[in-house]
Homo-oligomer: A and B are copies of this chain.
Amino acid sequence: MSADIPILAANRVSDRAKKTLDIVKQFVEERCIPADPVFAAQVDAGGDRWDHHPSVIDDLKEEAKKLGLWNMFLAKGHYKEGAGFTNLEYGLMAEYLGKSRCASEAVNCAAPDTGNMEVLAKYGNEAQKKEWLQPLLDGKIRSAFLMTEPDVASSDATNIQLSMKREGNEYVLNGQKWWSSGAGDPRCKIYIVMGKSDPGNKDVYKQQSVILVPANTPGIKINRMLSVYGYDDAPHGHGHLSFNNVRVPASNMVLGPGRGFEIIQGRLGPGRIHHAMRTIGAAEKALEWMLLRINDPKKTPFGKQLKEHGVIIEWVAKSRLEIDAARLVVLNAAIAIDDRGAKGALKEIAEAKVLVPSMALTVIDRAVQSFGGAGVCQDTPLANMWAQIRTLRLADGPDEVHLQQMGKNENKKGKAVSAKILRQAEITKDLFAKYGVSLSHIGPKSKL
């Protein structure tokens, strides 16, 4: 709620955003969270979890549009198609969206569509925008982003191997993709595919292209859906797809051949903030459920309610502290993007990317532990949230890759910092002379 904005950020949030934030909160808490079990029940209701779409989502989307909650993720000043909020402002909203399975989709702010819409809005030509961006903006279709591959370390995107060969007016695609999130959904109509169009280029960052591939193009096969721990995430899902002589018009190329890296880099900044803020929301939700549990008068191991056990209260305190610290880190990154663009905010974005999922996993796991058996099963949202967020330590590059990059960037200061410390030591020498003292040592003066 607008009253909960950290004081450090409050003066940067417009009144309009504050009002919208209040509406988002109410919509999430009163409409979306209660709908989450209905969504799950509707997925279960048919025989096949993948061939039908829960109608509750469509009703929520209608409601959201009427409330004016739609496409808030497209940041003011960067996209004309959006709702006109800054990354900071949308970030605060995304925290609430992160508390519900249904909420992001209900307000048309769900990944991977958000990043895909950004790509199309930023890099697509008019024909591409008309055919794919508009229905996405309208929430009529969904999309997938196909980058990761099973046989290489694709956290390093230069390793990507899916082949794109030009033949006449077409590109012919061959290869495999996995972790193609959303590919299971019957409404998913368009794949944005990263592949290698120029494997011989000496510049390893110019070998890749991004091309638009309609989901129903012949030659595409969904081999299987991947589970996340034991969850299938139907009907959205995570596909393992193979491309076998898949032909698409050359005009489907985005921005131009060899510009794939440029596109995926532009895609990452705000999306990481969205993920991070939704994850903050999930952590808040876990803490709320933990409070529910520890105040349950029926749960009195050894004669005391859980809230009377000091260890549990310390978990509550640490969770509060860790969530609050992480939120400030994400909001700082959001403002950095607002002010300097994603390229000027790399450090701040990386800090949020690495810090938030680990923090949330810790908080959620405490909540699981406080629930006991109810925490690991379907009776709380906790186990599912944990599994979803666990993937964020891997997606878009594992933590360790980001930490190495952050460490190397920090170490660029090494030379200047070393020079400074040595210069300070020189000044100290002069001061020793001036004050007539010398290096003081503990020790056996008699032996000197």
Inter-chain contact B44/A354, CB cutoff 8 Å: no
In the assembled complex, how far is the CB of residue A389 from the closest CB belonging to chain B, in whole angstroms?
11
Inter-chain contact A41/B329, CB cutoff 8 Å: no
In the assembled complex, how far is the CB of residue A227 from the closest CB belonging to chain B, in whole angstroms?
5
**Chain-B contact segment, one of A69-77, A124-132, A137-145, A373-381:** A373-381
- Chain B residues with Cβ below 8 Å from A6 are 332
In the assembled complex, how far is the CB of residue A28 from the closest CB belonging to chain B, in whole angstroms?
10
Contact of A224 among B51, B228, B354, B442 (CB under 8 A): B442
Inter-chain contact B155/A372, CB cutoff 8 Å: yes
A427 within 8 A of B: yes
Inter-chain contact B232/A443, CB cutoff 8 Å: yes
How many chain A residues touch B (CB < 8 A): the figure is: 152
Inter-chain contact A424/B29, CB cutoff 8 Å: yes
Known A48-B445, A329-B324, A376-B387; judge A300-B159 contact (CB<8 A).
yes
A9 to B437, CA, bound (A): 43
Interface residues of A in 289-332 (CB under 8 A from B): 289, 291-292, 294-296, 298-302, 306-307, 309-321, 324-326, 328-329, 331-332
Contact of A328 among B38, B329, B374, B420 (CB under 8 A): B329
- Chain B residues with Cβ below 8 Å from A9 are 8
A431 within 8 A of B: yes
A250 within 8 A of B: no
14 intermolecular pairs with C-beta atoms under 8 Å apart? A33-B424, A34-B424, A34-B431, A38-B435, A41-B432, A44-B437, A155-B372, A224-B443, A226-B378, A229-B383, A229-B386, A316-B406, A317-B404, A372-B394
